[in-house]
Chains A and B, each alone.
Chain A
Amino acid sequence: MYAIRWLVIIPMATALPYLLQAQKNDTTSIAKKPVVERMSGTFSLGVRNDYNIFTDAPKSFGAGLGGSMRIQLLNRLNTEWFADYVASSLYGKAHRIDAHIGWNVMFYLLDPKGFKRKLTPFIAAGHCFDYTSIRINGENGAYKRKWSSAVQMSLGCHYNITPQFDVSLSTLYDLHLGNDIESELHKDGTVTIEEYKNAGFEGHIMLIFSAHYKFLKLWTPKKPSRSFWA
């Protein structure tokens, strides 16, 4: 038993310095690859068109407009601050307005290489506050509204026409948490607005088509940094 214990301890004790050495080598290899975060501080401003693929009603396709600005933190990490206004028709008898204001953190799946790479795919996540209203079409139509907050995730891609100018397409899933209002179509063809008092989840998918121009750098990138993304 005593001998078996030593059979385990001796190889472990021998291997330990190598393991430590291996860690040291890895650290050195990262340190040898300093990355200048040249895109850090880049400020861009853009416009966007949003398409609401669905809401609580079927075939409730909606179109919207908005604007966004991006402030880049690292070569592969960007932030986007947006506001938009989307109008959707519900059964042709009511309409819904969604307004969002929020932000996303974008991570570039491939090194954008200063946006000289033509296609730059990204994933993004963030949160927003939103306002929703539903109104029955016509004079003095019934009306209800709500405020809620949401989290969103998106997958998209920039097409860099020039390093300074890009158009982007992204798909975003918005998950709202808050009091819910929904339109309901009855058998007689009338539409009413239902309000649910308790908080609940509600989601919608949006397609976002945008164009951004990089105007300036808000700060000067300093010394080369050891980047995990090198």
Chain B
Amino acid sequence: MDTQKTIALILGLVIISNVQAQTIMEDRTGFVNSQGNIAAGYLFVQKQPAAYIIGESEIFVKNQIAITGSAWFFVPVSRKPTGLKANHTFTWGFNYHFLKKGRFDPYVGLTPGLSIVRVAYNTADGEVKKAPYGVAPLFSAAVGFNYYVGSIFHFFLKAQGVSGEFSGGAPNRTPLHEIKLTAGLGWNARFWKPGALKRELEQHGLNTTDYLIE
């Protein structure tokens, strides 16, 4: 029984040391970042603030390259009866992280997306009417940084610029040029070990350059 405990302890130590050896500060490949937060926005043309509940995720396919996606749920804060009543945004794309390793991790992203939009407008009779929901494509880019404070936590700050226009049930078009800011606490978890496929190929005596792009 003691022998079994010793083996289990050694195995446990090996696993822990292995995980420790590959923190997100050293190699991001295989890590997934996620964060749920609130965000503030400012619509440039309407000159009005906006608020969102945001969820986003980032999958590191390489140390410096991540696939990312985010959902922004619009929370109406304007008291005007007309204007934007819904502007739920979905974006997806790639983030490029400038530094190969370290706690400080600045990045830029190209993340096109779309907004599900609803606007309210005044009819000729002065009545306020809500137009049906519609879709508006968006140009979107992001800039921000993460600061890793442990194996599973990071702080982040991100600014997302979006540009687009919605035309639909309302008589006038609605510009959607906006900057969104979010900051807070995020989570990290490793989903795969970097180089696993390469090692697998090497074990089978296969030429890795035939299968992998390096």
Contacts and interface: CB of A to CB of B under 8 A. Distances in A.
B165 A89 contact: yes
A65 B89 CA distance: 13
Contacts of B138: 63, 65
A92 interface: yes
A70 B67 CA distance: 17
B212 interface: yes
Given A65-B113, A89-B173, A162-B62, A214 B131 contact: no
Contacts of B161: none
B22 interface: no
Interface stretch (B36-44, B74-82, B91-99, B152-160): B91-99
A216 interface: yes
Nearest to A61: B165
Contacts of B168: 95, 135, 137
B126 interface: no
Please classify how large the interface on chain B is, using the bins under 10, 10 to 19, 20 to 34, 35 or more. Answer: 35 or more
Contacts of B96: 161, 165
Given A38-B209, A217-B212, A220-B210, A162 B64 contact: yes
Given A87-B137, A135-B168, A139-B129, 13 more contacts: A38-B209, A46-B94, A47-B110, A47-B112, A49-B112, A89-B165, A92-B173, A137-B167, A137-B170, A164-B65, A211-B93, A214-B213, A217-B212
19 contacts: A46-B94, A47-B94, A51-B139, A63-B139, A65-B112, A66-B112, A95-B168, A135-B167, A135-B168, A137-B167, A137-B169, A137-B170, A141-B169, A165-B65, A165-B94, A167-B110, A209-B110, A211-B93, A216-B213
